[in-house]
């Protein structure tokens, strides 16, 4: 009898352990990541009979310095912009209960601003002077994109327009404004030093965007740790009017979240234009808003606002990039990729929808009730 009970309790504890893992917000992105890794591994062995996908080699790049290369490095490198956007988008989602769909267009604006400043300087100026120019251009682009973020935020917070509709304005006009900043010229910077931020710094084998992203993640982690930003934005997202009664100004918090997103966008803009040293207004950061929203959703955050988990969002961004690379590897053309991603989005939303959760909970309750009922009947018998 006692052993029986023990077995039941141990099986229950195992069950509850698994339930805990499944209920953890990090479960979905980590599971998706594992799934993708297993899939790629299997595809590698079946199709190519080796594991070239996961190989990382140290080899000389086109400019002659030794760099790490391989699919995994590419994924971590290319996901930098997405991870940065996911940070800002998570805050916006949490505080305002909506998403900013103008991020791609604002990246174009930020990049265009940087190029406008940098193009005026000849490539033979000294290192210190060049650094000053870059820092100045970057700070200006931070101010510009924070202003555009504040514009979105003001529409959302003070005029109570739904975030997605308010940001629709910049979604349409943003790329045009970016083109207008540079008179629609095709600018390319010849200075190789400008490419350091998006590619490699000589002597360092890891791509620079990785470092930039790590710095930003540390900064946001410290901010969330030592300030009330997390608490306030969650409170505003869950119930704006009761948080107002508790002394938080929901309008300021919403505005702040959009401004933080604007700053993240400026960093993305720097990385993006530095990667190619040039800009194409219609194409730069195309469809990235979809990926950023997808990263937030994949992190298990409620798209209707409220509680959030920053780690899960950032992890989600890397999973998205992994998915994109995998799709490229399956020889899906770059323009058709959006169709596959749309299917993933729909599946994710269906899984995380309150309707399905309620249905699952109902089923579980019914099963428990049936079990309890049978136990009662047994005892009676």
Q: Which is nearer to another protein, 38 or 347 (CB)?
A: 347
Q: How far apart are CA 63 and CA 51, in angstroms?
A: 28
CB 178 within 8 A of CB 108: yes
Single out the residue of 120, 243, 110 nearest to residue 181, CA to CA. Answer: 110
DSSP class of 227: S
Query: Per CB under 8 A, does 217 bind another protein?
Result: no
Q: How far apart are CA 291 and CA 361, in angstroms?
A: 30
Per-residue x/- mask for another protein, residues 92 to 131, rule CB under 8 A? ------xx-x------------------------------
CB 114 within 8 A of CB 120: no
Of the candidates 164, 201, 223, 224, which one interacts with another protein according to CB under 8 A?
164
Query: Per CB under 8 A, does 339 bind another protein?
Result: yes
- What Å distances lie between residue 296 and 35, 83, 194, 323, CA to CA? 19, 10, 31, 15
Q: How far apart are CA 289 and CA 292, in angstroms?
A: 5
CB of 163 to another protein, least distance (A): 9
Of the candidates 343, 377, 379, 380, which one interacts with another protein according to CB under 8 A?
343
Q: Which is nearer to another protein, 73 or 150 (CB)?
A: 150
Query: Per CB under 8 A, does 302 bind another protein?
Result: no
CB 273 within 8 A of CB 114: yes
Query: Per CB under 8 A, does 179 bind another protein?
Result: yes
Q: Which is nearer to another protein, 57 or 339 (CB)?
A: 339
Q: Which stretch binds another protein (CB under 8 A): 119-127, 159-167, 243-251, 259-267?
A: 159-167
Q: How far apart are CA 254 and CA 251, in angstroms?
A: 5
Of the candidates 193, 230, 251, 341, which one interacts with another protein according to CB under 8 A?
341
Query: Per CB under 8 A, does 7 bind another protein?
Result: no
> In sequence order, what are the beta bridge partners of 68?
58
Q: How far apart are CA 320 and CA 287, in angstroms?
A: 13
Query: Per CB under 8 A, does 182 bind another protein?
Result: no
CB 282 within 8 A of CB 12: no
Of the candidates 150, 287, 311, 329, which one interacts with another protein according to CB under 8 A?
287
CB 86 within 8 A of CB 300: no
Of the candidates 43, 66, 168, 223, which one interacts with another protein according to CB under 8 A?
168
Which 3 state secondary structure label does DSSP give 38?
helix
Q: How far apart are CA 125 and CA 106, in angstroms?
A: 30
Per-residue x/- mask for another protein, residues 238 to 277, rule CB under 8 A? ----------------------------------------
Residues that bind another protein (CB under 8 A): 98-99, 101, 155, 159-162, 164-166, 168-173, 175-177, 179-180, 184, 287, 290, 293, 297, 303-304, 333, 335-343, 345-346, 349-350, 353-356
């Amino acid at each position: 009898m006692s052993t029986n009970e023990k077995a039941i309790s141990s099986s229950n504890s195992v069950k509850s352990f698994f339930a805990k893992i499944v209920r953890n917000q990090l479960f979905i992105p980590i599971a998706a990541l594992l799934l993708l890794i297993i899939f790629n591994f299997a595809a590698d062995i079946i199709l190519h009979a080796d594991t070239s996908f996961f190989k990382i080699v140290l080899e000389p790049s086109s400019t002659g310095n030794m760099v790490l290369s391989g699919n995994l490095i590419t994924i971590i490198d290319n996901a930098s912009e997405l991870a940065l956007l996911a940070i800002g988008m998570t805050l916006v989602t949490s505080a305002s209960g909506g998403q900013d769909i103008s991020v791609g267009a604002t990246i174009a604006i930020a990049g265009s601003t940087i190029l406008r400043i940098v193009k005026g300087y000849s490539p033979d100026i000294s290192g210190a002077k060049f650094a000053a120019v870059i820092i100045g251009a970057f700070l200006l682009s931070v101010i510009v994109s924070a202003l555009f973020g504040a514009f979105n935020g003001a529409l959302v917070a003070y005029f109570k327009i739904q975030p997605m509709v308010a940001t629709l304005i910049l979604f349409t006009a943003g790329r045009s404004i970016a083109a207008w900043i540079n008179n629609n010229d095709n600018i390319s910077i010849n200075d190789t030093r400008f490419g350091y931020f998006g590619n490699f710094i000589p002597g360092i084998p890891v791509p620079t965007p990785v470092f930039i992203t790590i710095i930003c993640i540390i900064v946001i982690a410290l901010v969330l740790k030592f300030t009330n930003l997390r608490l306030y934005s969650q409170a505003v997202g869950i119930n704006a009017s009761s948080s107002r009664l508790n002394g938080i100004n929901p309008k300021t918090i919403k505005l702040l979240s959009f401004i933080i997103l604007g700053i993240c966008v400026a960093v993305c803009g720097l990385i993006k234009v530095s990667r190619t040293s040039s800009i194409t207004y219609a194409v730069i950061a195309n469809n990235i808003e979809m990926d950023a929203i997808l990263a937030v959703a994949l992190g298990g955050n409620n798209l209707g606002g409220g509680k959030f988990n920053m780690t899960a969002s950032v992890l989600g961004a890397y999973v998205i990039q992994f998915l994109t690379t995998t799709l490229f590897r399956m020889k899906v053309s770059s323009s058709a990729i959006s169709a596959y991603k749309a299917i993933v989005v729909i599946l994710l939303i269906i899984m995380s929808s309150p309707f399905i959760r309620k249905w699952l909970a109902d089923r579980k309750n019914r099963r428990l009730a049936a079990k309890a009922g049978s136990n009662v009947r047994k005892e009676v018998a």
